[in-house]
């Protein structure tokens, strides 16, 4: 199972349809919808949070949350 947390820096994935139930409402409102392109931009020095780019918006999310959101790697 690939998740946002499993991406390497610069890798791109797409949020899968099955991830919808695991995405917090706040992230859904920011554009983290199924089919959205996600790129890992940076990982904080202590490995948490991680910085992602979703549809052109930069977001910082906890690694715990990122590990629950399934993606399809391109």
The fold of the 4-73 domain, in CATH, is SH3 type barrels. (2.30.30)
Omega cis (within 30) before 49: yes
**pLDDT tens digits for range 28-52:** 888 889 999 999 999 999 988 999 9
Quote the pTM value. Answer: 0.86
Task: Report the chain's mean pLDDT, rounded to a whole number.
Answer: 91
Q: Residue 74's pLDDT is what?
A: 73
Average pLDDT over residues 46-73: 92
How far the first Cα of the chain sits from its last, in Å, is 14
Encoding tokens for residue 2? 């690939």
């Amino acid at each position: 199972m690939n998740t946002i947390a499993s991406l390497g820096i610069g890798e791109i994935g797409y949020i899968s349809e099955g991830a919808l139930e695991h995405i917090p409402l706040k992230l859904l409102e920011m554009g983290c919808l199924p089919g959205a392109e996600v790129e890992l931009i940076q990982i904080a020095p202590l490995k948490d949070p991680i910085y992602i780019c979703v549809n052109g918006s930069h977001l910082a999310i906890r690694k715990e949350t990122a590990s629950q959101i399934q993606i399809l790697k391109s």
